Each structure stands twice: as structure tokens, then as C-alpha cells.
Structure 1
Amino acid sequence: MEGLYSRSMLVDRSWMEQRLESHGCSVTQQFKKGVEHFMDFAYSNAQFVTGATIKCPCHKCTLLKFQDRETATVHLYLWGFLSSYTAWSEHGKSSTSDVNEPDVPRDNVQRENRYREMEIDAAGPDLREFFAKEAPNSNAAKFFELVRCADEPLWDGCQNHNRLSAVSLLMNVKSDCNMSESCYNRVIYAVKSMLQTDASFPDDFYQSKKMLKKLVLSYVKIHACPCMLFWKEHAEKKKCIVCGHLRFKKGKEGRGKARTETAKYMSWHKYDRRPEGVLTHPCDGVAWKHIDRVSPSFAAEERNVRLGLSTDGFNPFGHISVPYSCWPVFVTPYNLPPLMCMKEVLFLTLIIPGPQSPGKNIDVYLRPLIDELKMLWDDGVTFDVSREQNFKMRAILLWTISDFPAYGMLSGWSTHGKMSCPYCMENTKAFTLKNGGKPNCHRQFLPLNHPFRNDKDKFFVRRVEKSGHPPPQKWPGYGKDHNWTKKSIFWELPYWSTNLICHNLDVMRIEKNVFENVFNTVMDVKGKTKDNIKSREDLKRYCKRPNLNMFTQGSKLMKPKAQFALSKSEIRTICEWIKQLKFPDGYSSNISKCVNLDDCKLYGLKSHDCHVFMERLIPIAFREMLPKGICDALTEPSHYFRDIVLQSCMFNIYTHWRKTKWKYYAN
């Protein structure tokens, strides 16, 4: 009788409207039994059950939310069934008339899968036009292609996934787990090897993305002013109809000058002069003043922009094991004060993609920038919002800043081999070490009366250095029998040949390289020290220092300990000292975390860490462990780097270092 009663309740669903008793304070028993049989019916159709939940048909959830059995029952008691929901089509049956029909598998139920529903929802509410008796348009064709993918099983007989659902699942995993493209392709390859040979599955990430790209919604860019939108009837307006602000501005500098707080500082370099001999800004240097002399028309307008270009390669993915070199190109206006030009106003003009370095072909990517720089030199009317007047603004590129390999890419002078020095050029006296393969010559830069010049033992056996440093570069006719690999694109700029300094080297990168070489050599780090077997062989070949010559003891090749190399106990003492170092907040990163006491090495030092260590810690770290002469030779470069990176420095300090630095390089 219970079965007949429940079956009659499924046919006659008038009980769905009889939820409350006449007094309205409780739910009728008939409604409770009806809800119970509805739940039994809904959960008997497994294809409509997601996990342990079903679509709740109450007035509050309106078949949009999934609830478990207990929660859905409570919801129906509280708010009742959704009006007119008597067919129960979302829980197993399309109408009350088919109660007597046997249950059929989900594949035969006239219901689309959820991926097909997603595509139909994304396509829009009115799809009838797609079914006209004519060829579908491009959007409709993409839609039908996605519907076909949603209906196409992975292989004949596959019940759980179709082609679209499988690709969507894998792409979600890629996004959640931050998988690389190569990793995704390997997963695809592994999955395909496990499937049947007739499985319809994409070959790689490109094919997967190409399939899902058809689901991307279109968008429209609308320009806006705080006062209005450039939209509809105002779509073609060139300026705001409320405040008169221009919609577009010509040139990158124009964007910077549109800000009043920035524009008023564009002439700072002329009116805020420092005392003579004090260097705090490029405008205090010789190159800036040289431009004023050779181009008086340019210097007459203090708002004309002077630019610097810098570039370097880096790996955007942060994986050292994955070789990738991306090259951003920055342009900096030097008219502004030091704290503004290097932080607030910095233009990213180019991003040269990898995975390989552009090398000498970097000029191909620089072409748009060079054309714009030539245009900025000739003309460009700009509105100065600080003075509320128009003026003809011009711009000049003073120099480039890069490390030494990038110097060769930008200048065209090869920085490899015997003639790698762009200062010495063909006048170099460098020679290539037979074992180390590096060029070596330092003494020609020393003062003529320096004792190192007459030393016939410690630098090159039986050789005295009498020649001075190379003469200044001879601009007319250079490029013959030299190290030039190309004519740099910068020579297309009409003023480039008159620039006093065309290319600069990055001090931070040089300082980092010097520190790593010095520190690893003193700490005798295996594989990184410059005091290796090849250097000892070259030392024996070219110099006369018998106490450093290697010798054979039994079957082993022995390398005598050099005076500048620490013992194992001293190396551990240095590492323990670094481990206990503490700095003021913001002065440096926590260098102590870079120390590994197990192997007594430093790992993960950044450029600023090397900067702090080279300038502040080197003079005191090895003071009591190395001989005085060696300690002095390490301390002076530390003072040198400290002086040249000061925010404000006297010009005579640079003059002093220019005369004395060579003896430490030769040492």
C-alpha cells in the first residue's frame, strides 16, 4: 500500500500546494510525505545528483543552488516548492505523464550536458537565427564547433568526459598548479599514451588554447575622462566637452608634462645649481655642459628633455635551469631632480622577448625608438601646464647605461677577445693567457714612475713596461682593423657624434662582479675562485713567483696555499661572523640567511647585498686574517666604489681615484 500511495503522490501532485495547516503554524503531514517521496525520487536518478546534492526547488533557491537532502527538505518546509514546478524536469522527469515509463540511461535523456549548456548560455538567449537555412556566420560557426566538441566523446563508449570537458579540466589543473607550457605538453603526451588510439584529444597546449579561445567573450575599449565617456555620440570627440582636456597626447614626454607637479621640475637642472665642483646630478658633469656648448639652441630652452637609455637581460620566470633572456629597454629623463628621475618618471619603451638574447641584432628592435628620438630632436609642440603655454620641446639622448656584454650589443664594438677594451682599441697591449684564455695587461695605466713598471719578475718575466696609457680615441676613420661588428643604430641620431660620453657601464653590476671574484678567491670557493690550476700554470709561464708554483707529491698535483687565501678554520670564522650580522632596518637584506655553515658558503646574494658587503664589510672582514699589503689592496677598491656611488661628491675625489686606481688593478 505504501508503494501505491507513493506512486499516486507522484502522479497527483496537488499536495505541493498544501504545505501549511489551516491555522498556518505547521506543515501538513501530506506535504511532509510528499517531500519525502520527492527526495527518494530525486536521489533515485543518479545522473541528476552532484556529489550528495541536488538542485533545491524551493522559492528561495529557485533551482539555482545545490543543497544536500536534509537542507533541501528544510527549505521546502520553510518556503515550499517553486511555483509551477510540477514536471520535476530538473530531477529526473520531463512531465507527469511519463511516470509509467521505465527509467532510461542518461545518454537517452533529452538533456544537454553542462558544457553544452555553458556554450549555449555564452552564445546568447536568441539562437534561432543560427538555424536559418543558410550558411552560418563566423560567430555561429565557432559556436557550432564548440557544441560539436561538447557532444564528441573522448572515444566511442566514453561516458564520463567529452572532448571539451577533458580539455577544460586539464587547463584548470594547469592554472591551479601553475604548470609551464612544456609541463602541460608532457602531461598531454602521457595522457594520450594511456588512451585508446582513436581518442579525440588535442596534441599540445596550442591546440587546447585554440579550442577554448572560442569561449572568450568580446569586449569594447571605451576612453574616459573623469567628466565624461568618449562613447556613443561622443565616440569621435578629441577632447572632453566638460573640462576641455585632450583625449590624446603626442609623444611620451607629453604625458609626463601633463602633470603639473612634474612639469614644474623640468627646468630644475638650470635654476637649482650646486656649488662648483660638487657632483649630485648629471647636469653637474662634463658631458652635460659639453652639450650646452656644442648645441646652444638646444640649451637655450631649459625644458628640453635630456634622456638616458638603459637595458639588461633577465629571466622573467626565475628558473635558473631554464635559459630565457628577456630585455626591457628603459628611458629616463634627467631634467628632474635625482629622487624623481629614477623612481617616479621612468619609461618602459621596449620589451625584447626571449628566449635568446638579441645580440648585435638589438638594432632591429630599437628601430621604432630611434625613429621617435629623431622626431623628438627635430620637432614637437608641447603644452607646459605649469606655465600654461605652448613651446617647442626637443629631446636628446645623452648616453646608454648597461653592463659590459650589453655595451658590445649597443655600441657595435665586440667586448670579447684580445681587443675587447673599447678604450684601448687597436692600441691594446693585452695578450691572451695560454691556459686561462683571458687577456692580461694592466701596467701601462700606472704612473710612469711607479715601481711596478720596472718589476721583471712578478708580472711578466724579463719585461719592463715603458709605454703610457692609450691615446684618446681617434674618431675620424675609425672602424678599420678594429673590433667593430656593426655600425650602431645610435649613429643615425644627428647629435650622437658630438656626445662626449656615448655609453656608460653599470656600476652596480661591475661592483657585484668584483665582489664575487674577490670574495670567492679569498674564501677559496671551489669552482669559483680565480686562483685555480690554470691561473697557476699561467703564473709559472709568465711570472717569476716560485713560491706559488705547483708541484707533484707522489701521484698528486699540489697547489701551494697563497697568502690571500684563508684556511678552513678562518673561512668558518668568517661565515659564523656573517651569520651573526645585524643591520638597521632598510639598510640591507638579511645577509645572515645566505650563509650555509655546513659547507661554509654564501648563496643567493643579490646585487644590493654585494654592494653593502663590498663597500662596508670587506675592509673589516679580512683585516685580522690577511697580510697588511693584501688587506690594503682589498680595502682600496672598497673605498673606491663607496666614493663613486655617493649621492653628493666632490669632483676632486674622482680626480684622485682616476690617478691612483690603476695600481690596485695591477696588484
Structure 2
Amino acid sequence: MGKIEDIDHVLCTGEVANAVWRRAAQALGVQCMEVAAGGQELATSSDVLRGCCKEGELGIRKVKIECDSALVVQWLRNKACMMDKCWMNDPDRLVSPAYAEGVKYFLTQARNHASGRARIRCPCRACLNNLWLPIPEVETHLFIKGINPNYTQWIFHGEEETTLYVSDDDLDDDIIQEDDYIDDMQHMLDDIRAGTFVDVPQDSTPLPNRPSIPVDGPAPSFDQLLEDARRPLYDGCTEFSKLSFVVKLLHIKSIGGWSIKSFDMLLDLLRSAFPNALLPQSYEESRSLERGLGFKYNKIHACPNDCILYWKENAALNECPVCKASRWIPNTDGSRAVPQKVLRHFPLKPRLQRLFMSAKIAGDMRWHKEQQTKEDTCMRHPADSECWKKFDEDHGWFASDPRNVRLGLASDGFTPFNNLAKPHSIWPVILVPYNLPPWSCMKDQFFMTSLIIPGPRSPGNEIDGKLACPSCNADTDSNWLKYGRKHCYMGHRRFLPPDHIWRMRKGLFNGREDHRMPPRDVGAEEIQNQLQMIGDVQFGKSHTKKKRTAEELNWTKCSIFFVLPYWSTVRLRHNLDVMHIEKNIADNILFTLMNSPGKSKDNINSRRDLELLGYRKELHLRRDGDRVTMPHAAYTFNVEQRKKFCEWLSDIKFPDGFASNISNCVSRCECKISGLKSHDCHVFLQRLLPIAAGGYLRSDIGLALTELGTFFKELCARTLDVNRLAQLQIDVVTILCKLEMIFPPSFFDVMVHLAVHLPREARLGGPIQEHRTSHTLDVSADLYALACGPDRWVATYAA
């Protein structure tokens, strides 16, 4: 690569060009050889650079440069461009020929950029590109007031900004000081501008200059954004630019649930109080910024019964062809038609591209292959899992480039209104890039909302049934409880070793020996054969529940993911949500221990089912004439124990940020516990239950519950040991068998059974922390406020 010091001679022609180039060359330490117009070419002492400039052209930007190093040309061109504008600092601008030629060249370039417009931004020292004036008036200002000497890159008048690609090692030395900017909005616009150029390895050929505007936006829109990002909110303001203030104001509106009218009233008040501030006129003008900033989404009308989307071939329909429901909300006043249901879709491709616009994030997107510490027995990231490694083996072309993005999908519903009498749910669909390191991929800023499915009812199909376990599939062990009117999932002795003593213990379990083998893993070919047995699926909510045939097992439809060419070879095609499993198990245990009416799994119907099944006779109902009583069970608290337990739970103090204030969910006087969230149950099951079980329950019951809490604590650790996972698989089977000897059959819903598959899922998919759905879908205040719409609700924060 040529060095700057190698450039010692340059050939130029033309008197004006010679004068300008001489100054630039002198500053660069380059000897300049001058010839008259039309003179012959002179040889240079170095072939690193050769340039020529046409007669009468002032700008070195027009110099044709040939060099063996693109980086040297880039650097030299930048320096030359800066020196090309020395006339801007000429103190004798009224009599200086160089200043006059400079103004002439500037106006020529500005006219070409204006594309026929009569007005351009005035860059004089007074207007500072804030005013649009006629071109003759701009020329007068440039001579009378002088051009702004700091406006060395004419980005508002047709000159592209110069962008240099530097290595990370140079960032600390060459980074622009924060004092040069009002705020960080400029950096965001740089990211938007760079949308078509993703991250490039440092050893690759430098990319050409980036385009001055984003590909998907018009030039005036982006130029306006760039201008607003550089203009202070008012003269002397150093905290906000016009753009950053409006963006922050829109953010507060979303969080606070303001109405459009209240937002416009606030703008009127601010304009009255600060007449010199550059504030928008209305909410609609503020919203227009979203198009330039890339905050785009698509609105797709949907059938209120979820039968179809009014999209593509159905876009022109006014009623659903399936259920005949109208597309529009009925109105009789002749106002604008309003759709009954709107699905919001956020395009994925531009958001994936933006992950590579920042050098730091782009490096993190390659972390899973370039920086991760590989250990055979330790799993810290999904890249350590068996599924990830198997996928890399089967699809080497994809794995060869670490920038290829691997996404995880999660969806769950939440209630946006704090009103139990008004049931309504919103279902966001979230995508998470697993390329990122563990400390980044589960942060809110990297969650990508793909869809927002409106309510009021959930969009999914009912999947509860006797074959509800996706891992056991057709070999799921379930029993129908006649009086409880539900399925129970027991029979975990089949997962024990074949010679285990518990397989032959009748009295401790269901009165029968169990010598069955555990269910085998179902392959992709077998699943596809099962899916072929499903007939044509009619989407939408039917008023009558469909009766599935035995051949359909528990499938409701064929997942669209099977369209993907690799999907059938993936070993883990689902994700058992550990947080939901923990919450359901914790609720079952807590409400049964507290003997909560209506929520306890130990009730009169469960005792009648025990009588029907013919075992656990000590728990059978006792009849004395017309009087029926339930014997006290060892796994429930008595009145005094419930009171002490509630007092102890309400007095617990946690470190800041460790858990919410669980004491708010405890009622001492009524000895009740209610309102525990998923994370509260997570803390209770892993941290509090072992203490409570040991202090209030029989030793064998306390030991089983303590082992259960320890199991989930180890399973949810940030790092997992592969050998320890094998032991956890053995432990969870033993724990579930112990629980079968303690609790009634009604206790064992499908969520309790799914715990037996969690160690295998962790081994296939990686640490639980990285694919935990509930953690992903802890709804942020932003999304919550957007779902609520304008309301009186205001977010509050605990100290």
C-alpha cells in the first residue's frame, strides 16, 4: 500500500486549478509541478498518484485520481476537499477573486441540487442553513455577511458526506467528541443512512461511499431529518435538537397514554411559552418523523373471528367469505369506515439489517462463532446445544458465515386493561436474535416485535386434551377423572430404570405395577405422517368445538414452519416455557398447601376420584349419615400453620431488584395469597418453598418439595453442565414419583408432567435463560401503553 510520503509530484493544468492545488499540495507535503493551460504532461517521481484538473475548474473534488490504495485516495481526497474551500475564510471577500469564484462554484452546485426550486438554504453566518431564500438573495448574503466557515461539507447543497470505515482500534482516537453534537440523534440518523451497507470484515476491501439518503426514503425527507437533528431547539440550547425533542415528546405520549387532543394542547402551550423554539404545529406533523426514522409497520385488516386476513387476494373484500362477518364496524352516520380488527405487522428485513449498522453490535452478532469459549461440557449459549451443532453439520453453507441470523420466536398474551370485568388480551409475537452473546440477546432493545395481534380473544386454537404433551406424543399417559372433569398425567414410574423397586410398589402408587418403557423420541418423518392425517383446516373461531378423530391425535393443524426446508430435520421444534411451568406448579403447590377454596387441587371431587380409583384409602371421604367429611391431608396446612405462614411470607425482605414485593399479595387477616406473577412464583418455588416445606410439613413431604425447588434452581442457572443435566433427568423422575405418593391425581395436570422433559429440552436447546418465553414477553411499559391506547393510566416506578 502506498504511503502519503510517497506522493511527491502531481501534474495539474489550468491557472485557477494550479493556484488551488498548490495550496492543497503544500499542506499535504506534496511538490506541485505547474504547466500552462494545454501544456504537456510531465513525469512524476512516484507512480502512487497522478492527477489532472481541467482548466477553469476550481474544486479538487473534480480531480481524477488513480492510486494503488483506495484508502490513500480516500484520505487524500478528504484533505484535498477541505483545502479546496480555503476561500471561505478569506477576510477580503468583497474584493477577492478566489472568494468570488468560490461563491460562483457553490451556487452552481446548489442550483443543480435544487432541481428547479427557486429557494435554497442560506449558509451565511446569520442564517446558518436555517432559512430558505431565493438564490440571488443567498448570493447577496454570502458576500455581505460571509459564508459560515464551519460549513465545510455542503450536505444541504448536493455534496455527499464523507464516510470513513475505520477499525475498532482507531475509534478511541478518531471518535468525534460529544461536544460537537447536541445529542445522540445524529448517530441514529447515521445508522438509518447506512442501511444498505452491513458490517464488513476489517480485512476486506473498503466499501464505496455510502449513499447520502436511505434507499427506501425520498431525499427531501431525509435531508429534513438531518437538518432537524443538527438544529438546536432554540438558540443556545445544548441539550436538545429539534428532532430529539420531538422524538422524546412522542415517547412520553406513548408511555403516558396521552390522547391526540392533549398532545396538541401541550404543543400549543409550549409554543406560547417558548415562541422561539422550533416546535411542530400538531401531532400529525410530529408523526411524520416516523417515516424518516424507520418506525414503519403495516396495518392488515382481519376477520373478527380470525378466519382470513384482508390481504393479497382478499384485500378488496368487505365481508369474510367463511363466516360472513362484516369487515367494518357498523355505523349509520356516514362517517369513515372503521375496520373491526387490525393486525399490525413490523417488517423484519430492515430491522435485521440495522443490527449490522453498528460496529459494536455487528461484532456481537458474530460472537457465537468468533468469541465464544468452546467447552464440551459447559453450556452458556444456544450455540453450545446439540440442536445448534447438528444444524451446523447439516447446513454447513449457512454455518460458514457467522453473520447469518438465527431467530427464536415467542408469543404470549397479556391484558392491557386493569379491569377484570372487561376481559381483553393482546398477543405480541417477538423475535429474538440468538447470535448475540448471553448478556445481550435477552435485553429489551434486541427484542423485535414482529406482530401485534389484537384481542379481545386469543387467536390460538384450543390444545388441551389427553395427548397434550408434545414430547410423549401418541404415547402420552393420561387418565380421565370422572368427578374432577379433567385429565391427569401420572405414570412417571415408566421413566425409572427397568429394575427400580418403585415399579413393583402397588400400594404407594395407583395399585398396579408399572413395567412400561419410557416413550421414544418421535422422528420428523413420523410427525409428517401424522400431520397428513389432518384434513383441510378451516381457520377462525367456530361456535361449535371440533371433535378430533383418533388418527389426528392432538394436532389441530400443520405448522407453517414445515414449509421451511430445514424444519423437518430440527430435533427441537417446540419450546416448553419453563416460567409458565414453574408458575403452574407453584400455584398447584401453594393453593393446595393453603387449602384455598376453588383453587386447591385437594377438594371433594378429587377425594371422590380417589375412591373410584380404589387407592389412598386414608384420604377417602368419611360419611356419617348425611354428613360427609374430608380427612385432613398431611400436605395441607391447618389454620394455625396458614396464619404463621402468611405472617412469615409478608415479613420477607428481598434485595433490591431480586423480586417484587410479595407481601402485597398476602392477606394476614384472611390468611390468603393471591396475585402472584410468573416471577413471583419463580422465586417462591426456588427460594421460599424449601424453607416453608421444612418448617411446616412432614419430613418426607418437605424433602420432596425441597428437591423440586432445587431442581428448578439448577435448571434455570446461567450455565449448565452437560453431565449434571443427565443427573437432573434422573432426579426429576424420582421427584415426580415422590409427588405421586403424596398428592391426589387431580394435582397432576399436564404442566406438572412437562417438567420431566425439561432436562432433555435444555440439552437440545441450550440454557433455559436463553429460550425462556415468559422472560421474553415480560411486557414493557411502552408496549403496554400502546396496547391500552389513550387512557388516564400513568406508569409509576417503585423506589
* TM-score of the two chains, using structure 1 as the length reference: 0.54
Asked if 1:590 is matched to 2:661, the reply is yes
Partner of 1:456: 506
- Name the residue aligned to 1:335: 435
- Corresponding residue number in structure 1 for 2:424: 324
The answer (yes or no) to whether the contact 1:588–1:612 under 8 Å persists in 2 is yes
How far 1:216 sits from its partner (Å)? 9.1
Does 2:443 align with 1:356?
no
Q: Take 2:258 and 2:287, find their aligned partners in 1: how far apart are those partners?
A: 31
**CA distance 1:575–1:295, shift in 2 (3 Å):** same
Aligned to 1:30: none
Q: Is it true that 1:266 corresponds to 2:365 in the alignment?
A: yes
1:469 paired residue among 518, 522, 527: 518
Q: Which has the higher contact order (CA 8 A, sep 6+)?
A: 2
Offset, 1:217 = 6.7
Q: How does 1:437-448 map to 2 (within 5 A)?
A: 437-442=486-491, 443-448=493-498
Structure 1 equivalent of residue 570 of structure 2 = 499
Q: Is the 8 A contact 1:415 1:422 kept in 2?
A: no
Indicate how the Cα distance of structure 1 residues 539 and 251 shifts in structure 2: closer, same or farther if over 3 A, else same: same
Measured in 2, the distance between the counterparts of 1:580 and 1:554 equals 45
CA contact (8 A) 1:591 1:609 kept: yes
Following superposition, the deviation at residue 554 of structure 1 comes to 4.2
- Look up the match of 2:689: 618
CA distance in 1, matches of 2:501, 2:590: 27
Q: Secondary structure at the match of 2:375?
A: coil
Aligned to 1:478: 530
Query: Equivalent residue for 1:190?
Result: none
**1:50-95 CA deviation, whole Å, 9 max, x = no partner?**
xxxxxxxxxxxxxxxxxxxxxxxxxxxxxxxxxxxxxxxxxxxxxx
Alpha-carbon distance between aligned partners in 1 of 2:394 and 2:604, rounded to the nearest angstrom: 53
Residue 221 of structure 1: aligned partner: 288
Q: Secondary structure at the match of 1:350?
A: strand
Q: CA deviation at 1:252?
A: 2.0
Taking the TM superposition and a 5 Å limit, the aligned residue runs for 1:645-660 are 645-660=716-731
Shift of residue 220, structure 1, vs aligned partner: 7.9
Equivalent residue runs for 1:253-652 within 5 Å: 253-271=352-370, 272-343=372-443, 344-360=445-461, 415-436=463-484, 437-442=486-491, 443-461=493-511, 463-476=512-525, 477-479=529-531, 480=533, 481=551, 482-652=553-723
> How many Å apart are 1:179 and its aligned residue?
13
| CA distance in 2: counterparts of 1:563 and 1:424, whole angstroms | 32
Q: Does the Cα contact within 8 Å between 1:315 and 1:326 map onto a contact in 2? A: yes
Note the alpha carbon deviations across 1:363-382, whole angstroms, 9 max, x for none: xxxxxxxxxxxxxxxxxxxx
CA distance in 2, matches of 1:543, 1:555: 22
Distance 2:613 2:408 in 1: 43
CA distance in 2, matches of 1:220, 1:278: 49
Q: Distance in 2 between matches of 1:500 and 1:433?
A: 33
Q: Which runs of 5+ in 2 are unaligned?
A: 1-255, 260-281, 294-346, 534-550, 740-799
- 8 Å CA contact 1:331, 1:348 repeated in 2: yes
Quick one: distance in 1 between partners of 2:734 and 2:348? 54
Choose which of 248, 251, 265 in structure 1 pairs with 2:350: 251
RMSD: 2.6
Mapping of residues 140-289 of structure 1, within 5 Å: 221=288, 251-271=350-370, 272-289=372-389
Q: Compute the displacement of 1:615 (Å).
A: 0.5
Go from structure 1 to structure 2 and tell me whether the alpha carbon gap of 1:474 and 1:284 turns closer, same or farther (over 3 Å shift).
closer
Q: Look up the equivalent residue of 2:475 and give its one-letter code.
A: N
**1:617 CA displacement:** 0.8
Report the 3-state secondary structure (helix = DSSP H, G, I; strand = E; otherwise coil) of the residue aligned with 1:316: coil
Equivalents in 2 of 1:225, 1:474: separation in Å? 48
Separation of aligned partners in 2, 1:544 and 1:258? 66
* Residue identity matched to 1:652: N
Change in Cα spacing, 1:258 to 1:431, as seen in structure 2 (3 Å) is: same
For 1:352, give the aligned amino acid.
I
Match of 2:23 in 1: none
**Counterpart mapping for 1:41-80 below 5 A:** none
Larger CA deviation: 559-568 vs 252-261: 252-261
Contact in 1 for aligned 2:524/2:569 (Cα 8 Å):
no
Q: Deviations 1:343-374 (Å, cap 9, x if unpaired)?
A: 131101100001111114xxxxxxxxxxxxxx
1:600, distance to aligned residue in structure 2 (A) = 0.5
Structure 2 letter corresponding to 1:347: M
**Quick one: distance in 2 between partners of 1:619 and 1:453?**
28
Contact persistence 2:478–2:490 (CA under 8 A): yes
Paired with 1:544 and 1:224, the residues of 2 have a C-alpha distance of: 68
Shift of 1:308: 0.2
CA apart distance, 1:300: 0.6
**Cα pair 1:433 1:440 within 8 Å, conserved:** no
Q: Mark the CA change 1:562 to 1:256 in structure 2 (over 3 Å): closer, same or farther.
A: same
Change (3 A) 1:258 1:558: same
Name the amino acid aligned to 1:329: V
Partner SS, residue 428 of structure 2: strand
Q: In structure 2, what is the Cα distance between the partners aligned to 1:638 and 1:300?
A: 41
* AA at the equivalent of 1:296: G
Amino acid at match of 2:504: N
Which blocks of at least 5 consecutive residues in structure 1 are unaligned? 1-176, 181-214, 227-247, 361-413
- Classify 1:252/1:562 alpha carbon distance in 2 versus 1 (closer, same or farther; 3 Å): same
Partner deviation per Cα, 1:118-148 (whole Å, 9 max, x = no partner): xxxxxxxxxxxxxxxxxxxxxxxxxxxxxxx
SS of the aligned residue for 1:530 comes to coil
Post-superposition offset of 1:638 = 0.3
1:178 Cα deviation from its structure 2 partner? 9.6
With over 3 angstroms needed to count, the CA separation of the structure-2 counterparts of 1:278 and 1:584, relative to structure 1, is same
TM-score (normalizing by structure 2): 0.46
State the 1:447 CA deviation: 2.5
Please report how far the alpha carbon of residue 224 of structure 1 lies from its aligned counterpart in structure 2 after TM superposition. Answer: 9.0
How far apart are the structure 1 equivalents of 2:613 and 2:636?
A: 21
Residues in 2 aligned to 1:581 and 1:552: alpha-carbon distance in whole angstroms? 42
Contact kept? 1:325, 1:354, Cα under 8 Å:
yes
Supply the distance in 2 between the matched residues of 1:472 and 1:664 (Cα, whole angstroms).
22
Q: For residues 612 and 499 of structure 2, what CA distance do their matches in structure 1 show?
A: 27
Quick check: 2:494–2:514 contact (8 Å CA) kept in 1? yes
Q: Which moved more, 1:321-330 or 1:424-433?
A: 424-433
Question: Alpha-carbon deviations, 1:391-427, whole Å to 9, x = none?
Answer: xxxxxxxxxxxxxxxxxxxxxxx73221222222222
Per-residue deviation at 1:219?
7.5
**SS of residue in 2 equivalent to 1:473:** coil
Counterpart amino acid of 2:472?
Answer: C
SS at match of 2:530: coil
Q: Partners in 1 of 2:476 and 2:643 — Cα distance?
A: 42
CA distance in structure 2 between the partners assigned to 1:511 and 1:483 by the alignment: 23
Structure 1 distance, partners of 2:598, 2:361, is 50
Q: Deviations over 1:509-568 (max 9, x none)?
A: 111111111011111111111011111111122242221110113432100001111110
Measure the CA separation in 2 of the matches of 1:314 and 1:520.
23
